[in-house]
Structure 1
Amino acid sequence: MKLIRFGAEAAEKPGIQLANGTKIDVSAFGSDYNEDFFGNNGIEKLKTWLVTNQDSCPEIDDNVRLGAPLTRPSKIVCIGLNYAQHAAEAGMEVPKEPVLFFKSTTAMVGPNDDIMLPKGSTKTDWEVELAIVIGKKASYVEEEDVFDHIAGYVLHNDVSERAYQIERSGQWCKGKGCDTFAPIGPFIATTDEIEDPNNLNLWLKLNGEVMQNSSTSDFIFNVQQSISHISQFMTLLPGDIISTGTPFGVGLGLKPPVYLKAGDIVELGIEGLGTSKQKVVSFRSNL
């Protein structure tokens, strides 16, 4: 099943995308895609509900905006330098264990919403990533049990301001959590949709030019290792997002480096998880 949310920002409703691409409104099911939904067998309950209710669900026009396909989670946990070639292009050693950092949940936007350059930004960069949505509370999980705790998978652009991340004191979160820096979606593919998350093609284009094209088979730490490791240090709650790192081809690694500017178009996709497209815009105040 492919879970979507649609409608105006801050007023999204739950829906699903059918196998033929048709999108339908399932708000009559009575639950949004939140911690309670994922943690209380919501996916299976929704499947059962659809058996008798799908035909009465309104279709969603293709022109309707898609939001992030889940409500704001308790946390977004990210893994840095999880592809050997990306570590090399960043000039950093291959880590001995997963490098962890947090991304602000206020950075979440829909898959085709604008990326807004933060005030004073000079080095905003792109990162296509496979993200995991937790489906069951996870604490000290063994690797062989990890898939029991996953609800599904989703496309994520881990937008990063490198000057904030690397050149200023403190932790990486300053360059990762800016508004609009986490376009998520278009949909969450439930686990039955993805045969092997450790062997998926992922790619990103900047203004039509391919910048990243790799496979999750190049992970340093695969899905099982990553989730198990993170769960040793914090409890993962249903709906939490784990973003698994980006392959080589980011702007920081180019010679000379290339960074996003207003008017740029970023397109990205992952095998089985659809595509997204963002326009880069200058800073504008939300006040």
Structure 2
Amino acid sequence: MASFIKLIRFESESGDICFADVGKHDLDPPALGSKITAFKSFNDLLSHPNGKVVALQKLLAPLPRDDLPIYCVGLNYNSHAVEANLQLSKVPPLWTKPAASLANPGQDIFMNGYCANSLPDY
């Protein structure tokens, strides 16, 4: 099991992609320019006690790998399905999305007209 409290993935001031555990801080992500103890890879974060202090330049989606699909499950919260007036089935719908489709914090999410008008759900 991963041993972190609040994982962030970010670009440092030097352009490196880094990982950090900021779970000991408040609930909000650190401000841009904050100095953070960072690790070059997710595995380094889990296995090395010391990292390098760098400045946070840009927050990124916290995926350790961007070459694996994201597995999605729909209608897995009965109360939400009832609230949205959706019919429940014994087997929830499953689908995948490419990791590249995940937006970074603050990044726009582009949808075609059909999707945008078909009640997107958060």
Q: TM-score, normalised by structure 2?
A: 0.63
Does residue 86 (structure 1) correspond to residue 99 (structure 2)? The answer is no
CA–CA distance in 2 between the matches of 1:5 and 1:82? Answer: 27
Check whether the contact 2:39–2:45 (CA below 8 A) recurs between aligned residues.
Answer: no
| Paired amino acid for 2:60 | G
Shift of 1:111: 2.5
Shift of 1:58: 1.4
Q: Which residue of 34, 37, 40 maps to 1:24?
A: 37
- Other-structure match for 1:3: 7
- Other-structure match for 1:67: 60
| Paired amino acid for 2:11 | G
- Identify the structure with bigger relative contact order (alpha carbons < 8 Å, sequence gap 6+): 1
- Seen in structure 2, the aligned counterparts of structure 1 residues 112 and 6 have a Cα distance that, compared at 3 Å, is same
CA–CA distance in 2 between the matches of 1:90 and 1:98? Answer: 15
CA–CA distance in 1 between the matches of 2:116 and 2:25? Answer: 42
- Other-structure match for 1:13: 18
| Paired amino acid for 2:66 | R
Matched position secondary structure for 2:53 = coil
- Other-structure match for 1:126: 121
The answer to which structure has the higher helix fraction is: 1
Shift of 1:75: 1.5
- Seen in structure 2, the aligned counterparts of structure 1 residues 108 and 126 have a Cα distance that, compared at 3 Å, is same
- Other-structure match for 1:110: 104
Matched position secondary structure for 2:80 = helix
Check whether the contact 2:7–2:23 (CA below 8 A) recurs between aligned residues.
Answer: no
How many aligned residue pairs are there? Answer: 106
Q: TM-score, normalised by structure 1?
A: 0.31
Give 5+ residue unaligned stretches, structure 2. 31-35
CA–CA distance in 2 between the matches of 1:25 and 1:15? Answer: 5
Q: Which residue of 97, 100, 107 maps to 2:91?
A: 97
| Paired amino acid for 1:58 | V
Matched position secondary structure for 1:60 = strand
Give 5+ residue unaligned stretches, structure 1. 128-287
1:43-192 maps to which residues of 2 (within 5 A)?
44-45=46-47, 49-50=48-49, 53-54=50-51, 57-61=52-56, 64-70=57-63, 71-118=65-112, 122-123=116-117, 125-127=120-122
CA–CA distance in 2 between the matches of 1:72 and 1:107? Answer: 10
Let me know the Cα RMSD of the aligned residues: 3.0
Question: Deviating runs (4+, > 4 A) in structure 1?
Answer: none
CA–CA distance in 2 between the matches of 1:82 and 1:100? Answer: 10
Q: Deviations over 1:59-82 (max 9, x none)?
A: 434xx2110112314221111111
